[in-house]
Every structure is written in structure tokens, then in C-alpha cells.
A and B are shown apart, each in its own frame.
Chain A
Amino acid sequence: MSHVPESQLTTYLVEEQARFYRLAYSYLKNREEALDAVQTAVCKALEKQDSLRDAGAMRTWFCRILVNVCTDQLRHRQRVIPLPTEELDTESYEDPLPGDDFLARRVDALPMELQTVVKLRFYEELSLREIAAVTRCPLSTVKSRLYTGLKKLRISMEGAEY
């Protein structure tokens, strides 16, 4: 059990901040809330630094904190402002091969667990094993969520699995 030096963690957090913001923004779609989420996640990371045992796992470890903060914020928001229903209904898109930006929008409209897997896989290019570590799910669950997500997006699954 080795301890990861705090300086290594803070350097990583400062250097990769743009990535974190993008991921947070992709969930929250709101500049201020995304900024807040990154700050909160960074604060938590420092607080819980003892739970990071292996410097190699830093990325998945922090990703998990950040994704949790974002999904918490969304849940918190749901009790305040209900999301318009059409945004939640992916089936309402008729076009089986939508144009460029449609895909990004449809990814955002997926149920939360599916969204997370799809974003981490294709935007952040994490391996399925890494995604399993981020979401603390068995690999099989990650795979099935990815398939379900892609099916909903009507995209062929070829090459998605590794």
C-alpha cells in the first residue's frame, strides 16, 4: 500500500482541469454549475486523498468523484426544475441516421448510467475495464450498458468493445 504524494495529485488536477470541465459540462450543460462541480470534485479529491492508493488509478479515481458530483447535482436539480419530457425521450427521433450534432444531443438524452458509459468510452476514451472502475460496476454491466446505449443511439456496435 503506497501513498500517493499530495503534490502529484494537485499537479494532475491543475493540468487536466480542461478535461474535467468538459466532462462536467457535458452532464450539466450549464457553465456555472459545471465550474462549481469541478471545484467541489477537486475539493473532495484532496479531502479523500487517502483513498487513492495507486498513482496509476488517479484518472479513474478522480473521474468517479467528478461523475458522482455531476449526477448528484442533476438529481438535486430534478427536484427543483423538472426536465422537459421531450429531452428525455430518445425514441422521439425519427431519423435513423441523424446529422452531426444530433448524436451528441442524443447521447446527452440517454439515461444517466448509459450516458456515463458512452461518454467515458467515446469522449474520454477510457477502456471498459477503466469504466468499470469509475462506475464501480462489474465489467459485464458496463458492457451491457454500452450495448443498450448504442442500441438506443442506433449505432452499430462494431469496434466498441475492448
Chain B
Amino acid sequence: MNEFKRAKEKYEETPIPEELDGLVRIGIRQGQEQYRRRHGRSFRRSLGTAAACFTVVLAALNLSPTMAAAAADVPVLGGLFQVLTIRSYEKEKDQVYYQVEIPEVDSDADIARRVNAEIQERVDEHVAEMEQMWTEYHDSFMATGGTEEEWAQRSMDVNVAYEVKSQTETTVSFVVDLSQCSFSASQTQYYYNLDLAHDRDITLRDLLGEDWVEICNQSIQGQIDETAPEDNFCFPPEEGGFTTVDETTSFYIRQDGVPVVVFPKYAIAAGAAGVLEFEIRK
């Protein structure tokens, strides 16, 4: 088998990219998270400073019969509103594992209605898109010579989760997380910062004042520059790296009131960096 000696040598000469280690560690974290979620030790449901939790069984929420309407944890908050799980289900269909927890802001404020409708729409879109992708994948799998037996070993996870970052009597900051894991993995996060008393979104300008853009930019650039070169995956500004924040920049409000700006994976840095967060101090 000497013929293979050279082929094997060539194989072993494959250069190993520097970011591999970072990506392996991210993969480990993601996998651990999924594993824990599936085993019910959901930390996402331990919401903020909820004073108490009780269980409400939600029935007849236009669930298809195959979906189990799971009981939802409802954090009871003082004040004008609460964020609760309006729909929660786990199901398996055609080897797709769904784990879905949809939040709703329970308040009379118009903004709550708007946000709830938007969340519902985004979740429905996400689920429909994943179902379509799975069908297309199945068809191309079969068209390229796959067998039903091999297909049976494939699976996809579709997850919808949310996390309340902070809350006060009248405001709430939370994130809705739509993700997918199959032959590839993807994640989209939507951040909501609401002032229910005044029926409006909270902006970075509200939190930081008129100079909010400069304050954010300085703080973020400072943190990027402080990062050790070996951990710094940020692109240079001219190659799509960080330049400035604007009205569309995502952020959440920490329980101590500090805003944290969030850039999705790939937005300003290589995929190895994952989602990047920067706390902004005045």
C-alpha cells in the first residue's frame, strides 16, 4: 500500500486554519445548550426577577392536534404588564425536532399589540421557511441517489426561544431567538426594548443622550482595540468591519440599566467570533 503513502502525506499537509479552535469551542457551547434545552433544564425560562411563577394551561390556541400544548411558566410582575409564554410546544415531524416557546407582552399598550403581532409573524415565517428547506433538502437528497434508509438518519432542529434581559415596573428588554441546526446552523435574534408606560420603543438616544452615536462608537472601537490580537476576529473597517452604530443597531438593556449593543454573527467579524456584544458606558 505504498501508493497511499504520498496521498496520505498530502492529506496530512492540509493546513489547519487558526480559527478552527475557536469554532470547535463555539460548537461545543452550542451543542451543550441544545442538549440542556432538550433535557428540560432550560435556563432560558428562568426569567429575570420574576416574583413568582405559576402554571397556566393554554388550550385552544390554534395548535394543530399533533402539537402538545405545553404548560407555560408565567412570571408575575408588578406594574403594567408581564411577558409570558403564550405558546410552547415540542414536536417531531418528518425528523424535524421543534422546540418552540413564543413570548407575548401582556399589556393594553398599543406597542405590545404591535410587538406581539410582529413576533408571531417572524416565528411563523421561520417555521415555514425551515419546513420548506427540509422538503427541498429531502427532494435533492433523493434526486442525488440517497435512500430512505439514509434519509432516516438525518434530522433538523428548529428552535424558538426568548430571554428577558431586564425589566422594571414599566419597561422590558428581551430577545427572541430563532435558530436552526441541521447540515448547517443558523441563528437570528430580534431585540425588543419597550417602554409600556409611554407606549414606545426605547432607543439608544433615550439611554445615552444626543451624542449616543459617538458614545457607542468610541466605546465599541475601544473594546475592539483592547482585544488581544489572537482573539480578535473583527474585520478591518474597509472590509466590512465595525464603522458606526445607527438606528437599526440591535441592543438590549442589562438589569443594571447599561445598554449592550449586539452584532449578529458575521456582521462585523469572522464567524468564529459568533455574536458580539459590547456594553456601552457613558
Interface of A with B (CB < 8 Å)? 6, 10, 13-14, 17-18, 20-22, 25-26, 31, 35-36, 38-47, 49, 68-69, 72-73, 75-76, 78-79, 100-101, 103-104, 107, 119, 122-123, 136, 153, 155, 158-160
Contact = CB atoms under 8 A, between A and B. Distances in A.
A41 B27 contact: yes
Task: Say what secondary structure dominates the interface of chain B.
Answer: helix
Contacts of B35: 46-47, 49
Contact of A40 (B136, B144, B181): B181
Most buried by A among B3, B12, B143, B146: B3
Interface string B135-164: 011001101101000000110010000000
Contact of B140 (A18, A75, A107): A75
B3 A36 contact: no
Interface string B27-43: 11011101100100000
Contacts of A17: 16, 20-21, 24
A40 to B, nearest CB: 6
Interface in B191-211: none
Nearest to B27: A42
Contacts of A104: 6-7, 10-11
A35 B31 contact: no
Given A42-B24, A159-B1, A26 B154 contact: no
Contacts of B28: 10, 13-14, 42-43, 46
Nearest to B97: A47
A35 B14 contact: no
B8 A123 contact: yes
Given A38-B27, A45-B31, A159-B1, A100 B20 contact: no
A20 B183 CA distance: 16
B7 A122 contact: yes
A71 to B, nearest CB: 9
Interface in B154-197: 154, 157, 181-185
Contacts of B272: 35
Contacts of A31: 17
Contact of B183 (A35, A40, A42, A155): A40
